[in-house]
């Protein structure tokens, strides 16, 4: 996906009290309008409508979050491989209950998404 230009953040979502019919999402620094969501919901639906507006208001962060997520996945892969090596090496000549071996095993269980 190519990196596209967008209005810089932060953005905020605000109910338009004058129109009483829209939620505006805009850049908080320059007040550049990003989006307008019509309020066609019921009073019961308003919390969901506001939650959706807040999700859109956070969207300016997505390009940076995608980049960070990719970097963290690479780091996690390296760390996982290091933990496997530590577990293998710690197991040589160590008792089952040796603290280093136990720590390595617990860290690997967490990395695998398992409860130790």
Residue 10: band (very low, low, confident or very high) from pLDDT cuts 50, 70, 90: very high
pLDDT at 88: 75
Domain boundaries along the sequence of the chain: 11-57, 64-111
C-alpha 9/C-alpha 83 separation (Å) is: 38
Backbone angles phi, psi at 94, to 5 degrees: -115, 150
pLDDT at 19: 60
Residue 1's nearest CA partner among 56, 67, 54, 45 is 67
Q: How much is the mean pLDDT over the chain?
A: 81
In contact, 90 and 98? CB cutoff 8 Å: yes
Is the pTM higher than 0.75? The answer reads: no
Mean pLDDT of 57-81: 91
Taking only the tens place, the pLDDT of each residue in 17-68 is 666 667 889 999 999 999 888 766 667 777 888 888 899 999 999 999 999 9
Query: Taking the alpha carbons of 86, 92, 94, 97 in that order, is the dihedral positive or negative?
Result: positive
Task: Give the burial class of 102: count Cβ atoms within 10 A of its Cβ; 0-12 exposed, 13-18 middle, 19 or more buried.
Answer: middle
Which residue would you say has higher pLDDT here, 22 or 72?
Answer: 72
């Amino acid at each position: 996906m190519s990196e596209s230009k967008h209005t810089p953040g932060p953005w905020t979502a605000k109910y338009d009290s004058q129109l009483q019919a829209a939620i505006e999402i805009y850049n908080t620094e320059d007040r550049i309008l990003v989006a307008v969501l019509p309020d066609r919901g019921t009073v019961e639906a308003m919390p969901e409508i506001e939650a959706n507006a807040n999700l859109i208001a956070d969207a300016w962060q997505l390009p940076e979050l995608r980049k960070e997520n990719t970097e963290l996945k690479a780091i996690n892969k390296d760390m996982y491989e290091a933990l496997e090596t530590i577990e293998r090496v710690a197991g040589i000549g160590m008792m089952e209950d040796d603290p280093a071996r136990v720590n390595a095993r617990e860290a690997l269980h967490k990395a695998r998404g398992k409860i130790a």
